[in-house]
Amino acid sequence: MEPKKMEKIQEHIPAETTSADLGVQVKKISYILVVTRNGHMSEPVMEYAVNVADRLQYNIIAAHINTLPFYRDGGRRSGLFASAMQESALLFREKAEARGVQVKHIGDAGKIGNVVKRLCSSEKRIEFIVIDQGIRKEEVVSQSPVPVFSVIYTEKKAGLRNKATHYKSVEKGAIRMSITSKKRHLRNCFTFGILTAAVYAAVFLNQELVMAYFTKGGIYALLPVAVVFMVSYAHGNFTSSFWSALGIEGSKSTTTKPADIRKKATDVPVVKKDVRPRAEVNV
Amino acid sequence: MHGPVAEVLQFIDLTTYNILFLFIVGFIGGLVSGFIGSGGAFVLTPGMMSLGVPGTVAVASNMCHKFPKALVGAIKRYKYGQVDIKLGLIMGIFAEIGVQVGIMIQQYILKVYGQAGSNLYVSFIFVLVLVIVGGYVMRDAVQMKNATGITPSSPALAKRLQQIEIWPMLTFKTAGLRISMWFLVPVALATGMLAATIAVGGFIGVPGLMYIIGATSIVASASELVIAFVMGLGGTLIWAYYGTVDIRLVMIILAGSLFGVQLGAIGTTYVKEYMIKYVMATIMLIVAVSRFFAIPKYLNELQVTALADSSVALMTQISFYVMCFALLTGATIILVNLFKARSQEKAAVPAPAGG
């Protein structure tokens, strides 16, 4: 597939009469560049961009960037991408029109960073960039002359579970980690428990022999010390994982004292969780 | 010399009661040690002796159980970032010297005034140190508790001492302080001397670290575990050289005390600064009362007073029970606070973000 085949689609939605209010022509309208590398731009991102554009009286440039224009599948991917892009553009336009925001749609191909850089210089007055899921922020930030935002949203909006997508992977990791750490504690508890039992059995089953040698004194003084070190290793680890396995562990917020948390918890009323899509700055 | 001593010593037979007693006392002692840096040892020696263990074996076994316990506690608290290893090691080495000095003083008193005089001296030091230091720590804890707003960073005396620049100056990163070695050494020596006298150096070591050196109570109690480890190891090697360590007793006590020390260390991450001081002061003051009850016995032996034998025996018993009570009180405060703080933390932070 040659890049030429990727047609640039530029659609101007004519400004509605609302923008020409009071006959004063708005000379310089700023733009928000919304970038996606997916065929379908995620709706929360669209909604966020439309919301902000409406409030700031900006217009939107929506860019669908095909990052794999030369994908070796006989142009199937590119074709699908193009059709998805059409659908997505239509949806975006609908959403924007309802709020009186203009959307200019661009289809492009290449590396995200390069395309963004090119667009920022060719299209005038792009104030900031909003990136869709699946784009690495660093990639855009390194090339972009303007601030870059990613959008955090809950998947319920996208018709899935009510989980913040932005934290999704992190949270999964955290849960998985707590499961594995619990398993690890149990395993440690078991291993060191057996080791401890072995040390104790060895000493107490041979009491006479042990007492005879261990109390000889002199160089034999090292015997009790060595055994005690073994006990502190085996039994120390056992007791540590024992309490951990029971869920009794050190405070997770040793820096923030529990009392402070308590205070906060009682002082601040419980705020309803904000599930609206929100931007995250590129810092 | 070590040969004959071992032959004379009698090692007790282990019964279920003995094992259970040592395990439980070990656990409670460990809990307190993990929390305030030391303690528990003062009950174990008389406790073992009440089971029929000869004095030297009791002292030696107690010493031998102390250092692994301190080691495990120190490792646990190091993970919480509370231990200043450098501070602990330097203090530990000088405390070891203090122990030797303390033993020499003990031996001198033993030679001049006999066993009863020595015991009286020990009890007198006990009461004196515990009442003065314990009272001071308690006052401070109460003040800290009542103070609203930000608590003062370090005590006035420590601040002033930290400003005096006398070579060699030592910097402690975890404790976050810089002080001349000349102020550190006396505290360490006193810790060692007290440890040699009453088996619990921490009653001087921790307040010394807090009020003279200027460490926080958390860092002080955590670093005290390192000091206790160094002192305990040194002491154990000496006692074991004479063959007086009963490894069975040590291991039974350790079985309980390592459970305790872990829990005590966990407890420190939940409580406020003053709580450590509060627990420490409470234990110290109650133990002081206990030792007070022990004094008439020695006075009688020295023929200073002439109390009836029965009342002296009663007082000796009261003394022991009050000591157990001190430990139990400390353990209860720690456990109650630990679980209260835990449930409150759970209630305040119900689930990770996004849940």
| Interface contact B259-A242, CB threshold 8 A | yes
Ramachandran quadrant class, A208 (left: phi over 0; alpha: psi -120 to 50; beta: rest)? alpha
How far does A167 lie from chain B, in Å, by closest CA? Answer: 7
Contact A216 B243 (CB under 8 A): yes
Degrees (nearest 5) of the Cα angle B277, B278, B280? Answer: 65
Please state, in angstroms and rounded to a whole number, the distance separating the CA atoms of residues A65 and A110: 7
Q: Pick from B248, B259, B345: which is nearest to A239 by CB?
A: B259
B244, B56 contact by CB (below 8 A): yes
Q: Which of A200, A216, A250 is facing B266, going by the closest CB pair?
A: A250
What is the least distance, in Å, from the CA of A244 to any CA of chain B? 10
Give mean pLDDT, residues B144-158: 71
> Which DSSP symbol is given to B83?
-
* CA B291/CA B296 separation, integer angstroms: 10
Buried b (16+ CB within 10 A) or exposed e, B180-212: beebbbebbbbbbbbbbbbbbbbbbbbbbbbbb
Q: Indicate yes or no: CB of B71 within 8 angstroms of CB of A232.
A: yes
Contact (CB<8Å) A228/B250: yes
Residue A130: closest CA among A66, A38, A63, A30: A63
| CB contact (8 A) between residue B341 and residue A251 | yes
Asked if B254's CB is within 8 angstroms of A243's CB, the reply is: no
Please give the angle made by the CA atoms of B348, B354 and B355, to the nearest 5 degrees.
Answer: 65
Task: Give CA angle at A150 (A145, A151), nearest 5°.
Answer: 145
Question: For residues B318 and B291, what is the distance between their CA atoms, to the nearest angstrom?
Answer: 10
- Min Cα distance B312 → chain A (Å) is 35
Question: Could you tell me the pLDDT band of residue A235, with boundaries at 50, 70 and 90?
Answer: very high
Contact A217 B2 (CB under 8 A): yes
- Could you tell me which of B169, B197, B192 has the C-alpha nearest to residue B182? B169
pLDDT digits (tens, 9 = 90+) for B119-139: 788 788 878 888 999 999 999
CB-closest option in A171, A254, A265 to B348: A265
Could you write out the three-class secondary structure of chain A?
A: CCHHHCCCCCEECCCCHHHHHHHCCCCCCCEEEEEECCCCCCHHHHHHHHHHHHHHCCEEEEEEEECCCCCCCCCHHHHHHHHHHHHHHHHHHHHHHHHCCCEEEEEEECCHHHHHHHHHHHCCCEEEEEECCCCCHHHHHCCCCCCEEEEECEHHHHCCCCCEHHHHHHHHHHHHHHHHHHHHHHHHHHHHHHHHHHHHHHHHHCHHHHHHHHCCCHHHHHHHHHHHHHHHHHHHHHHHHHHHHCCCCCCCCCCCCHHHHHHHHHHCCCCCCCCCCEEEECC
Q: Which of B241, B262, B342 to mutate to test the interface with A (most CBs of A within 10 A)?
A: B262
| DSSP type of residue B92 | H
- With a CB-CB cutoff of 8 Å, which residues 182-211 of chain A face chain B? 200, 203-204, 207, 210-211
Evaluate whether A41 touches A92 at the Cβ level (below 8 Å): yes
**pLDDT exceeds 90 at position A271:** no
* A254 → closest Cβ in B76, B80, B251: B80
Q: Specify the pLDDT at position A71.
A: 80
Q: What is the least distance, in Å, from the CA of A243 to any CA of chain B?
A: 8
A269 touches chain B (CB under 8 A): no
Percentage of residues in chain A having pLDDT higher than 90: 17
Among all chains, which residue has been given the structure tokens 């090292």? A222
> How big is the A-B interface in CB pairs under 8 Å?
159
Tens-place pLDDT, residues A106-145: 888 888 888 888 888 888 888 889 988 888 888 888 888 8
| CB-neighbour burial class of residue B123 (10 A; exposed 0-12, middle 13-18, buried 19+) | buried
In DSSP terms, A228 is beta-bridged to: none
Assess A218–B contact: CB distance below 8 Å, yes or no. Answer: yes
Nearest to B354 among A163, A203, A259 (CB): A163
Binned at pLDDT 50, 70 and 90, residue B40 comes out as: confident
| One-letter identity of residue B99 | V
Q: For the residues B311-335, what does the mean pLDDT come to?
A: 90
Local confidence band at B197 (pLDDT 50, 70, 90 cut-offs): confident
pLDDT in tens, A10-46: 444 444 444 444 444 555 788 999 999 888 888 888 8
- Pairwise CA distance, residues A141 & B94, whole Å: 57
Instruction: Look up tokens 């800290």; give the residue.
Output: B144
Best B258, B335, B337, B344 residue to mutate vs chain A (most A CBs within 10 Å): B258
- Which chain B positions have a beta carbon within 8 Å of A214's beta carbon? 240, 243, 245, 247
- pLDDT class of B148 with cuts at 50, 70, 90: low
Q: Using an 8 Å CB-CB cutoff, list chain B residues near A235.
A: 72, 254-255, 258
Q: B248–A243: do the CB atoms touch at under 8 Å?
A: no
pLDDT by residue (tens digit) across B245-301?
Answer: 899 999 999 999 999 999 999 999 988 888 899 999 999 899 888 888 888 888 888
Per-residue pLDDT tens digits for B75-114:
999 999 899 999 999 999 999 999 999 888 888 888 888 8
What's the token pair of residue B134? 């314990």
Cβ atoms of B311 and B319 within 8 Å: the answer is no
- Of the candidates A163, A214, A248, the beta carbon closest to that of B247 is on A214
Mean pLDDT for the stretch of residues B12-38: 89
Q: Give me the residue spans of the domains in chain A.
A: 3-152, 169-246
Tell me which residue in A216, A229, A235 faces B255 most closely, judged by beta carbons.
A235
- Given CATH 3.40.50.620, say whether it is the number of domain A3-152: yes
Nearest by CB: B262 against A223, A240, A253: A240
Instruction: Using pLDDT thresholds of 50, 70 and 90, give the confidence band for residue A154.
Output: low
Is the CB of residue A146 less than 8 Å away from at least one CB of chain B?
A: no
Q: Are B281 and A236 in contact (CB under 8 A)?
A: no
